[in-house]
Amino acid sequence: MSDHDKQPFTAHLEELRSRLIKSSMAVGLGFLLSYAFKEQIFDILTAPLMRVMQHGDHLIYTNLPEAFFTFLKTAFFTGIMLASPVLLYQFWMFVAPGLYDREKKLALPILLLSTLFFGGGILFAYFVVFPFGFKFFVGFASETVRPMPAMREYLSFASKLLLAFGLVFEMPMVITLLARLGILSVAQLRKFRRYAILLFFIVAAILTPPDVISQILMALPMMLLYEISILGAHLVGRQKADDEAQR
């Protein structure tokens, strides 16, 4: 029986309340710190776009409160990212007592690797996909047509794309976990490889700008992540077999 099973239900609620308060405080502190540097953070976020725009071009806001709320959202999202180590720690401290020893050994690496893969997806989108995608969009400019993106629209587009790549890069963790639970096997993953590749290009065509380069830049990492997923499924399959042999 785990430690959580020995506690009354009210104790679980009290602990959850404590963890949520600490998490909220961490996000609040992260937000305040981020808001103090909101302009610099937004400049970093828009840097890939500004590099491909012509000298003198800039972002605009089309109604009076737009800039304020855009900076507010930027600071909030950044605050969550800054507080993510605390959020993960609070989550881990809440669920760890309810896990068995073998589950604890698996859960903590999954949390850490999930964070690493998610961050890797965001960095890949920012440093690789953004420059190519924005160059494609700005390429429609002419002597009579100039790009004048609004702050709110840019933040919405950029944050969705960053989130999409962050989630896509979670593929190895999700597939490895499904393999650990016995839902997927290495043989199944290898069998459906060709269909997965086709699916990756379809997903890339939906999530990225409508140019071939951006689609390839998303599809190729997904193919690599799929191979990493097969390797992860193979490793957890061997570990699961060893555990069953020792019982």
Q: Identify the DSSP state of 126.
A: I
**pLDDT tens by residue, 152-173:** 999 998 988 888 888 888 888 8
3-state secondary structure of 32: helix
Element (H, E) at 165: helix 151-168
Residue labelled with tokens 């393999």: 179
**Taking the model in full, what pTM does it have?**
0.79
Q: Are 21 and 69 in contact (CB under 8 A)?
A: no
**pLDDT tens by residue, 190-235:** 888 889 999 988 888 877 666 677 778 788 888 999 998 888 888 8
Q: Where are the domains of the chain?
A: 1-148, 170-247
Q: Are 16 and 53 in contact (CB under 8 A)?
A: no
Which among 113, 96, 138 has a CA at the least distance from the CA of 4? 96
Q: SS3 helix, strand, coil % of the chain, rounded to 5?
A: 80, 0, 20
